[in-house]
Amino acid sequence: MTLLALDWILMLEKLILIAIIVFASLGIALYTTFSERKVAAVLQDRPGPNRAGPMGLLQPLADGLKLIMKEEIIPNSASKGLFILGPAMAMTAALMTCAVIPWSSSVELFGRKIDLQIADINIGILYVFGVVSMGVYGIMIGGWASNNKFSLMAALRGASQAISYELAMGVALIAVLMISGSLSLKTIVDQQMAPGAWWNIVYQPLGFILFFICAMAECNRTPFDLPEAENELNMGYHQEYSSMKLGFYLFAEYVNMIMSSAVMASLYFGGYDVPFLDESTLAPNIAAIIGVLSLLTKIVIFLFLFMWIRWTIPRFRYDQLMNLGWKSLIPLALVNMLATGAVILWQQG
């Protein structure tokens, strides 16, 4: 069985892993929409969705069903192919990030050692940046193809915001990479897991805050949700969209949130590391399961933080957004990078 000289079992293993991770992210995203509404309700002192199923737990399914059953409308003046391509690209780019995130250490099944990471590539975190910069096209294509002034304005806003904040994010990231000396997320997590090592947040508190703010802007979350500012732009770049195409845009935002939480957890909070526990003393399969749970817990905490901020802080004005990005975050990130570099040089003597 050497057809095409490929390791077909490895291929199958990776395909199953991809399927599990994609469906799990979609499932978590489904319930993130529900918890978003619940958290909003708690913060605004009202009960929130509680009709569908016990405690309203079936609400996301009802929402999804509603979106699917709605009529698909493609405006006559829209550019048809691109109108469909927009949400598809947004969703694809959001899901592609999961390929380089180390979800846990490896498990042993049927005598094979299976890494719970789809691809440990040499460029690791840069791949995430590449995919994120592709996600901008989902918004831009959708906004333009709708042939609507408000959609186009929102798309332009979204793209310029994403480009501006990607810079500060990249510079904040460089400081972490200088400490770890590797681009691979797996290596970065392993270094934080090593006995006696601290999480990167200890060395990079300012870097983490910058990264977090930029991640919030990249995900178009309030206070950075200018592309969907409903009181200025009706509804934003997805105004002309209906049914599941709209659902894809909304869903892609939640998948993006999950993925950026996972990246932040891996970069700054030890990934699948459990604090004060030496994983190497446990059986590998148990350690892997504990690792997954630990990473999921960190992701859920980040998601809650995203929601908390969304329902607490009002939206920026556009000029404030640009001022914050270019005049505060980028200089701070540069200072942080220089200081980190200086300390590393000083330690090396």
Partner 1 sequence: MDTIQILFFSLSALAIFSAIMVLVSKNPVHSVLWLIAVFFAISGHYILLNAQFLAIVNLIVYAGAIMVLFLFVIMLMNLNSEGEPRKNWWMKLAGVVSGGCFLVVLVSLVKQATELSGKAALMKTGDIGLIKNLGKALFSDFVVPFEISSVLFLSAMVGAVVIGKKD
Contact flags string 2-41 toward partner 1, x per CB under 8 A? --xxx-----------------------------------
d(CA 40, CA 306): 11
> Is 122 an interacting residue with respect to partner 1 (CB under 8 A)?
yes
Cis? peptide before 223, omega within 30° of 0: yes
Give me the least distance between CB of 65 and partner 1, in Å please: 33
Structure tokens at 128: 């995430």
Diameter of the chain measured on Cα atoms: 68
Question: Which residue type sits at 186?
Answer: K
d(CA 336, CA 204): 8
Binders in 243-272 for partner 1, by CB under 8 A: none
Please give the span between the terminal C-alpha atoms of the chain, in angstroms, as a whole number: 55
Q: Which of 30, 41, 121, 209 binds partner 1 (CB under 8 A)?
A: 121
- Comparison of 26 and 159: residue with beta carbon closer to partner 1: 159
> Is 127 an interacting residue with respect to partner 1 (CB under 8 A)?
yes
CA angle 98, 100, 105 (to 5 degrees): 100
Check: CB of residue 17 under 8 Å from CB of residue 282.
no
**What is the sign, positive or negative, of the torsion defined by CA atoms of 310, 311, 314, 315?**
positive
Using left for φ > 0, alpha for ψ between -120 and 50, and beta otherwise, residue 247 falls in alpha
Check: CB of residue 179 under 8 Å from CB of residue 339.
no
Q: Which residues contact 324 (CB under 8 A, 6 or more apart)?
A: 316
Contact flags string 183-202 toward partner 1, x per CB under 8 A? x-------------------
Give me the least distance between CB of 160 and partner 1, in Å please: 8
Q: Which of 136, 176, 229, 330 binds partner 1 (CB under 8 A)?
A: 136
The total of other beta-carbon atoms located within 10 Å of residue 80's CB is: 11
> Is 348 an interacting residue with respect to partner 1 (CB under 8 A)?
no
Q: Which of 35, 92, 106, 133 binds partner 1 (CB under 8 A)?
A: 133
Contact flags string 142-161 toward partner 1, x per CB under 8 A? --x-------x--xx--xx-
d(CA 88, CA 84): 7
- Stretch in the footprint of partner 1 (CB under 8 A) among 69-77, 125-133, 288-296, 298-306: 125-133
Give me the least distance between CB of 111 and partner 1, in Å please: 26
Binders in 73-112 for partner 1, by CB under 8 A: 79, 82
> Is 1 an interacting residue with respect to partner 1 (CB under 8 A)?
no
> Is 163 an interacting residue with respect to partner 1 (CB under 8 A)?
yes
Binders in 165-184 for partner 1, by CB under 8 A: 183
Residues lying near partner 1 in the complex (CB under 8 A) are found at 4-6, 79, 82, 121-123, 126-127, 129-130, 133-134, 136-137, 140-141, 144, 152, 155-156, 159-160, 163, 183
